[in-house]
């Protein structure tokens, strides 16, 4: 069989040798799960998972460097030839009374039984690299060839066992460019009670994985039509049918989906693209003057809404801040009349570290209008050039680039540490941004005196 031959050559030598060690000791060993799926779709597998008939203690005994990372599921992480591999004992699963975790896990002796507990047919294929035999009891190969996603067994039952599976389905359709089989699709809407019980961390992880797809909107459209989105992020649904002003060809949701697909595939930047207009439905008004829609302050309202949602879904503080800043400043209205100090103020406001991301988001936002936007793109390109020039010139854009520091200020004013020092430095930076020539020690000390005389502090 063509596939077996392909797999034979693709299984890396260390994986083959790991399986050999298991076999030599009388245990069965198979390569299983996502790595086979990815390989058969012509992608590079991320990690190689092994299924074995060896019990966890037996695996532990066979390998000198083995860690029981998921012992309750029979998983041992084996460090082998410089890499780590998850070696899991063939297992079945008992009932799922909490819709999240199997009530009990029991070991089984046949690979087919192990494959039967897996979520989708394309994830339920095993390959024995020594006998060079493929085990595919649920038609996973055929589904891969036809690019179809379907559950192993009855979809409603499988989805209600473990609520995360509905979201994995949406994610795989996007990342692996699959069509969801109609029965599997229909079952999602009927299985949402179990999805409601999934932890927000797991939802976050799936969303981030979906963001690496060439067309992530496939996942989010599926989430919308099935009701997953209504549970996860209801304000995004308010974007559907929310018409925009004449500069836009699409409603807010369609525009957002295009923006998401156009944004560079950095997962965090794409979350910002997904949420960038979340404040629009709440802020929409009709202008009396132009009789067209306005969305004043939507970036501020949207940044607040996103902040709350990102906290709820347990994004790290760093990622949350980055996303919120991008949303807060996504309206970039550059004009050729901007002075150099206007450019410096812009960089100071949005943060030097956010500039490239912000321009990438602004570009995707402009392209997603669905109208001719050459002029706007040109302006963004010019802004990028000017930002680079300013950064390259090395003029102070941050407090730590000032020619004096907090200690200097304290000494000069003969005061103790306190919030005033920060205020003085911030004020100095404002002035230096207007006039970089001020950034010399003596001139800054003079400036402090002058500001004090003027009663600034």
Report the interface residues with ligand ATP, using CB under 6 A: 33-34, 46, 49, 118-119, 123-124, 162, 164-165, 209
Q: Residue 88 or residue 244: which is nearer to ligand ATP going by CB?
A: 88
Q: Which partner, ligand ATP, Mg ion, none, binds residue 261 by CB below 5 to 8 Å per kind?
A: none
Q: Which partner, ligand ATP, Mg ion, none, binds residue 119 by CB below 5 to 8 Å per kind?
A: ligand ATP
Helices H / strands E in the chain, number of each: 25, 13
Q: Which partner, ligand ATP, Mg ion, none, binds residue 123 by CB below 5 to 8 Å per kind?
A: ligand ATP
First-to-last C-alpha distance (Å) of the chain: 81
Are 126 and 134 in contact by the 8 Å Cβ rule? The answer is yes
Q: Which partner, ligand ATP, Mg ion, none, binds residue 162 by CB below 5 to 8 Å per kind?
A: ligand ATP
Nearest-approach distance from CB 238 to ligand ATP, in angstroms: 30
Nearest-approach distance from CB 172 to Mg ion, in angstroms: 11
Q: Residue 35 or residue 350: which is nearer to ligand ATP going by CB?
A: 35
Residue of the chain from 34, 92, 227, 406 that contacts Mg ion (CB under 5 A): 34
Give the gyration radius of the chain's Cα atoms: 28
Residues across the chain? 457
Structure token pair of residue 24: 């030599």
Q: Residue 43 or residue 371: which is nearer to ligand ATP going by CB?
A: 43
Structure token pair of residue 423: 């205020």
Nearest-approach distance from CB 151 to ligand ATP, in angstroms: 9
Interaction between residue 38 and Mg ion (CB under 5 A): no
Nearest-approach distance from CB 43 to ligand ATP, in angstroms: 10
List, as one string, the DSSP characters of 82-108: TEEEEEEE-EEE---TTSSS-S-EEE-
Nearest-approach distance from CB 171 to ligand ATP, in angstroms: 8
Beta bridge partners of 67: 77
Helix (H), strand (E) at residue 209 = helix 200-210
The piece of 34-42, 331-339, 363-371, 373-381 that touches Mg ion (CB under 5 A) is 34-42
Are 181 and 120 in contact by the 8 Å Cβ rule? The answer is no
Nearest-approach distance from CB 404 to Mg ion, in angstroms: 53
In 3D, which of 8, 21, 103 has the Cα closest to residue 54? 21
Give Cα 76 distance to the centre of its chain: 28
Q: Residue 50 or residue 306: which is nearer to Mg ion going by CB?
A: 50
Are 211 and 217 in contact by the 8 Å Cβ rule? The answer is no
The piece of 31-39, 172-180, 187-195, 231-239 that touches Mg ion (CB under 5 A) is 31-39
Torsion of CA 18, 21, 26, 29, to 10 degrees: 10
Are 240 and 253 in contact by the 8 Å Cβ rule? The answer is yes
Nearest-approach distance from CB 32 to ligand ATP, in angstroms: 7
Residues that bind Mg ion (CB under 5 A): 34
């Amino acid at each position: 069989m063509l596939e077996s031959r392909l797999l034979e050559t693709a299984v890396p030598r260390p994986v083959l040798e790991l399986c050999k060690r298991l076999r030599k000791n009388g245990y069965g060993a198979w390569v299983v799960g996502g790595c086979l799926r990815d390989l058969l779709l012509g992608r590079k597998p991320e990690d190689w998972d092994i299924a074995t008939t060896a019990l966890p203690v037996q695996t532990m005994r066979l390998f000198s460097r083995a860690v029981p990372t998921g012992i309750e599921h029979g998983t041992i992480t084996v460090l082998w030839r410089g890499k780590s591999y998850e070696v899991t004992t063939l297992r079945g699963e008992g009932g799922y009374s909490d819709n999240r975790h199997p009530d009990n896990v029991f070991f089984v002796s046949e690979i087919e039984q192990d494959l039967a507990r897996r979520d989708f047919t394309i994830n339920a294929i095993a390959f024995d690299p020594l006998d060079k035999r493929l085990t595919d009891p649920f038609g996973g190969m055929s589904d891969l060839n036809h690019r179809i996603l379907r559950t192993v067994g009855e979809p409603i039952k499988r989805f209600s066992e473990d609520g995360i599976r509905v979201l994995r389905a949406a994610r795989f359709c996007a990342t692996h460019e699959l069509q969801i089989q109609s029965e599997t699709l229909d079952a999602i809407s009927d299985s949402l009670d179990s999805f409601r019980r999934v932890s927000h961390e797991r939802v976050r992880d799936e969303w981030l994985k979906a963001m690496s797809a060439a067309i992530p909107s496939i996942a989010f459209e599926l989430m919308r039509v099935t009701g997953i989105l209504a549970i996860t992020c209801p304000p995004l649904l308010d974007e559907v049918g929310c018409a925009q002003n004449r500069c836009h060809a699409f409603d807010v949701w369609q525009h957002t989906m295009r923006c998401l697909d156009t944004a560079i595939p950095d997962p965090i930047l794409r979350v910002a693209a997904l949420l960038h207009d979340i404040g629009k439905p709440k802020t929409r008004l009709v202008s009396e003057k132009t009789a067209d829609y306005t969305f004043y302050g939507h970036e501020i309202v949207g940044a607040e809404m996103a902040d709350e949602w990102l906290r709820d879904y347990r994004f790290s503080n760093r990622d949350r801040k980055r996303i919120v800043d991008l949303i807060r400043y996504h309206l970039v209205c550059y004009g050729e009349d901007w002075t150099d100090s206007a450019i410096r103020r812009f960089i100071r406001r949005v943060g030097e570290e956010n500039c490239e991301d912000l321009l990438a988001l602004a570009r995707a936002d402009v392209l997603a209008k669905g109208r001719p936007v050459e002029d706007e793109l040109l302006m963004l390109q010019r802004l990028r050039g000017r930002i680079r020039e300013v950064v390259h010139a090395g003029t102070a854009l941050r407090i730590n680039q000032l020619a004096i520091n907090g200690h200097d200020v304290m000494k000069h004013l003969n005061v103790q540490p306190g919030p005033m020092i920060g205020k003085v430095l911030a004020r100095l930076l404002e002035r230096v941004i207007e006039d970089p020539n001020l950034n010399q020690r003596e001139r800054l000390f003079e400036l402090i005196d002058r500001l004090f005389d003027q009663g600034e502090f």
